[in-house]
Structure formats: C-alpha cells, structure tokens
C-alpha cells in the first residue's frame, strides 16, 4: 500500500512512522514548512514537499493530518486529485473533503499523541467513515496492517467520541496539573501521585468508572469535603471545581 | 513485628493482607461487625474481635483504618492501651489519637483501594508522622518490610496530599464516568477509550502534566471548542465543565 501524508505534526508523525514500520510505502510528506516535512520524510523513507502540485498521484491513499481549521483549504488544494483522501480529525465532518474526483473519508485514531512519546500503534482504536465501501475496505486493511483495531463511526458518533476523549484524557490531565500545582505550593513531590494516577487508569480497564469511584464524595464524607474546601479557600478555581464535582459524584453514586 | 488492625474496609483489608504476605504477624482484626472482622482475619491468620476490651496489648503497632468520622470515638476506646496507635487517614490531624499512654502517629498510604482489585503494595508511597522518633522508626521499618517507599509529611502537608489525590484520582475518574455516559448515549463502547486513558496516565510518569497537555483548548482551537459546546447543549453539567476547564487550560498554557 502506498500512502502520502499532508502534515508533519504529532498525528502525522506518529501515523507516518507507524506506516513505515509496518512496511507500507510512505511516498510524500507535505508540509508548508519544507524543513518540517523533510525531518519526518527522512524518518520514513519518503519525499518531502511543500507544494501541493508536486504530490505524487499514484498512491492508494492521502492522509490529511493537519489542524482542523486548515482542512477546508487543504480540501480545495486536493479537490482535483484522483487518489482517495481521508482526514484524521475527531470533530470535522467527512463532507469537508467532498470532491467529484476522488473518494473521501475519515480515519480517526482515538489516542493522545505527543512529540517525544512513542505510542504502541497496535493499541490505538481507529474509527473510520468513507464515501464508498471500497475506501472503507482499504482503510480497514491499512488499520489491520498496523495491527490496530478498526471500527466504523458516523461523523456524529465521531464528534461524541472526540468530546468523550476530551473529558477522559485532556480534562483528566488538567486534574493532574491542578494536583501538581497544589503539591508544589506545599513542597511535596508530584512523583508521589504517579502510582495513584496509574492505578486510577488501570482500574477502569476492568471495571466501570462508577464502580471504580472512590474518595470523600463517593463515601458521602461531608466532614472531609468541608476540610478540603476550607484548605482551598485561597484557590478559587480548585474550590469551585471541588465543590461542583463532589456534588455531582454524590448525585451519581446515589442514583 | 506484631500488628493489629481496627477496621475491615478497603484500606484495612489491603494493608492487613500486605502485612501478612510480607510475613508480619497480624494479631487482631477489630470490626463492629464480627463477621466482617472474621472474613479478613481468616485471610491473614489473625483473630477476629468486635470488642475493644479483647484487643491483645502485646503488639508493636495498632493500625486504625476506619472512617474518618469514627476516629475520635475509636481514639477514646484506645486511649488507655499501651501499644503505639496510628491512623491511615489523609485529612485527619495526628492529634486525634493523642494519649498519655501510648505514642501515636499516622501512616497514610497514597493510593486508591477498591475491593476486588489487588494493589501492588510495593508501589504505594506511605506518608508518616509520629509523636516520637521511635514510632517513626518503627513505621519506616514496617514500610520497608512491605517493600514500599517511605516519606515524612506533617498533618498539613498530608491534608494537601489528600486534596491533590482527590483531583488526580477521584476527579479524573469522574471525568471518565462523564465520558462513559456520553458514549452510552451514542451507542459507542467505553472500551474504546481504555487505551487513551491508560496512555494519559502513563505520559505523566515521565513528563509534567503541563507538558503532557493536549486537546482543543491546549491548541487554542476555538472552532472545535465551539462545536463541542454546541453538541453538549443538552448536557448542562458537561457544558459547564467543558467551558470552565477549557478556559483554564488556555490560561495555563499561555503563561
């Protein structure tokens, strides 16, 4: 399978490298910055370009992994190409890529990608949607070759998957960072929380989040909640979140 | 080392079993419910009691792992005993156990304990405080025998550790459960989020939460944020949290 990438950011990098590792042919890496394209292309034996007109048309798939906001203009640039085009965004409708000249679709990897942190691609669930069954088959073959799990999801389902991921990943991470700030203020090492954070995530691999819930709110322990709120008197944001989320945990557990 | 436990809940169970496994002698398990005490005592070769006056006084340490609210009355029951007494609560001052008859302290395991979910005790950081150095030494030996890491923390530091843990663990888990509810409403499997949740927790084992932050708010991607808020129009709580936390992530990333 011959695949090209538009983009050289986190998602493009992780996917292009995973494709190269899985012995797919990565043909072109496009980025408006040629040096960025080159850095990634070098790692996966591809050609770097910064001009859409140079894109090799003899490929099985073009994967656009760019900023959501850049998708409409990239779609315009690719409107006349004949190879199938997919984007990787959680919250952008598949129709942004509509063209009379090529099949189009979405291949959404549900994972958090950071530079300098390797991802085991086999553990990434991919959610796909396509304008025709042939492209859907191709996407499923590609995912299979990566050793990952393949699912179908409509644009609307994908939007909700993305929102769920924001809560489960981005907002959880933000909870970690509030904890980090509080510990720093009290000369305590954030590392002390590492085992707890890992255990919290591991728990829900085997039980539901409602079953896994622990803590003062879950126990209806108003005395501890009151103590914590008093201690947070000078932290208005943490105070507000503590109060709001504790109230909601209590409600949920008493359903 | 000979240790007795007051309590038979999550924390008492995990600690008593870990002690038995580490070849400490677990002597008595007290619970107001004798059958609860018996169930745990059977697992660690101890005696079950539901009457404080039966407590064997010839022990090196009595560990009170009970509800925070029960600690004052338990302290009264133990006031005259001569063995050192510690509690395991994050947010209760060490002074609740003050007595002229025995040294007292705290041994706080920073972890989330659920029934039916084993914990690798060696990965639990313990935070200790004691009324004299001899008891502190004893606690450090006990933690060493469990193979876990030992730290000192004042009652005030421990309170902030506990609050940080509520955010990093209890509130993260609540974010998982909001994600779970949203996915259920849209016929999507919660399991799809498992790798993402695990990766999010694993990331901060090696980088700070601020470095690990990803997502629309981190990217200042207002278009996606707007889409998500629209999609959450019928979910007032998720809408409120989404808006609040996204605003704060943006602030934090632009510091």
What interface predicted TM-score (ipTM) does this complex get? Answer: 0.89
Minimum distance, in Å, between the CA of residue B203 and any CA atom of chain A: 8
pLDDT value for A112: 86
pLDDT-wise least confident of A117-121, A163-167, B128-132: A117-121
Cβ atoms of B167 and A179 within 8 Å: the answer is yes
Nearest 10 degrees: CA dihedral of A113, A114, A115, A118?
Answer: -60
Classify burial at A255, counting beta carbons within 10 Å of its beta carbon; exposed 0-12, middle 13-18, buried 19 or more.
exposed
B114 in reach of chain A (CB within 8 A):
yes
pLDDT-wise least confident of A115-129, A185-199, B96-110: A115-129
Residue with more model confidence, B30 or A100: B30
Which string of DSSP letters, residue by residue, matches B158-178?
A: HHHHHHHHIIIIIIHHHHHHH
The arithmetic mean of pLDDT across residues B9-27, rounded, is 96
The arithmetic mean of pLDDT across residues B70-87, rounded, is 96
pLDDT exceeds cutoff 70 at B255? no
User: What is the percent of chain B where pLDDT is above 90?
Assistant: 91
> Closest chain B residue to A119 measured between Cα atoms?
B199
pLDDT value for B115: 77
A200 in reach of chain B (CB within 8 A):
yes
Crossing angle (nearest 10°) for helices B194-203 and A194-203: 180
The arithmetic mean of pLDDT across residues B208-231, rounded, is 94
pLDDT band at A100 (very low <50, low <70, confident <90, very high): confident
Crossing angle (nearest 10°) for helices B236-253 and B172-185: 130
- Measured between beta carbons, the chain A residues lying within 8 angstroms of B9 are none
Residue with more model confidence, A123 or A85: A85
pLDDT value for B107: 98
The arithmetic mean of pLDDT across residues B169-179, rounded, is 98
Name the token pair of A131.
Answer: 């304008």
pLDDT exceeds cutoff 80 at B137? yes
B152 in reach of chain A (CB within 8 A):
no
- CB neighbour list of residue A87: distance below 8 Å, 6 or more residues apart: A63, A64, A65, A66, A71, A94, A96, A97, A106, A107
A222 in reach of chain B (CB within 8 A):
no
- Pairwise CB contact (< 8 Å): B195 & A111: yes
The arithmetic mean of pLDDT across residues A213-217, rounded, is 93
Minimum distance, in Å, between the CA of residue A58 and any CA atom of chain B: 33
Whose tokens are 């695949």? That residue is: A3
pLDDT value for A119: 85
pLDDT band at A190 (very low <50, low <70, confident <90, very high): very high
pLDDT-wise least confident of A179-193, A223-237, B105-119: B105-119
pTM: 0.89
> Closest chain B residue to A222 measured between Cα atoms?
B69
- Pairwise CB contact (< 8 Å): B197 & A169: yes
pLDDT value for B254: 74
pLDDT band at A235 (very low <50, low <70, confident <90, very high): very high
pLDDT exceeds cutoff 80 at A35? yes
pLDDT value for A255: 57
Phi-psi region of A23 (alpha: psi -120 to 50; beta: other; left: phi over 0): left
pLDDT exceeds cutoff 70 at A76? yes
pLDDT exceeds cutoff 80 at B37? yes
Chain A from 49 to 108: CB within 8 A of any B CB = 67-69, 91
The arithmetic mean of pLDDT across residues A157-171, rounded, is 97
- Pairwise CB contact (< 8 Å): A200 & B157: no
A115 in reach of chain B (CB within 8 A):
no
pLDDT exceeds cutoff 90 at A41? yes
The arithmetic mean of pLDDT across residues B229-234, rounded, is 97
Q: Residue A43, Cβ neighbours under 10 Å: how many? A: 14
Cβ atoms of A213 and B170 within 8 Å: the answer is yes
User: What is the percent of chain B where pLDDT is above 70?
Assistant: 100
B234 in reach of chain A (CB within 8 A):
no
């Amino acid at each position: 399978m011959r695949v090209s990438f538009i983009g050289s950011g986190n998602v493009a990098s992780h996917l292009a490298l995973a494709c190269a590792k899985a012995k797919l042919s990565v043909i072109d890496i496009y980025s408006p910055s040629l040096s960025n394209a080159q850095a990634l292309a070098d790692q996966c034996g591809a050609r770097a370009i910064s001009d859409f007109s140079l894109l090799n048309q003899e490929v099985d798939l073009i994967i656009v992994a760019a900023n959501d906001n850049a998708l409409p203009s990239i779609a315009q640039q690719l409107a006349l190409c004949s190879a199938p085009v997919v984007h990787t965004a959680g919250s952008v409708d598949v129709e942004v890529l509509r063209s009379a000249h090529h099949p189009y679709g979405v291949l959404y990897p549900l994972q958090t990608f950071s530079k300098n942190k390797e991802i085991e691609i086999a553990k990434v669930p991919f959610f796909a949607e396509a304008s025709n069954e042939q492209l859907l088959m191709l996407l499923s073959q590609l995912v299979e070759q990566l050793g990952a799990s393949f699912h179908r999801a409509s644009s609307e389902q994908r939007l909700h998957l993305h929102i769920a991921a924001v809560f489960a990943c981005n907002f959880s991470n933000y909870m970690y960072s509030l904890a980090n700030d509080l510990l720093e203020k009290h000369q305590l090492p954030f590392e002390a929380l590492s085992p707890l954070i890992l255990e919290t995530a591991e728990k829900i691999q085997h039980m539901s989040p409602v079953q896994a819930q622990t803590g003062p709110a879950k126990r209806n322990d108003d005395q501890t909640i009151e103590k914590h709120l008093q201690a947070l008197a000078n932290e208005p944001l943490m105070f507000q979140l503590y109060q709001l989320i504790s109230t909601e945990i209590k409600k949920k557990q008493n359903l």
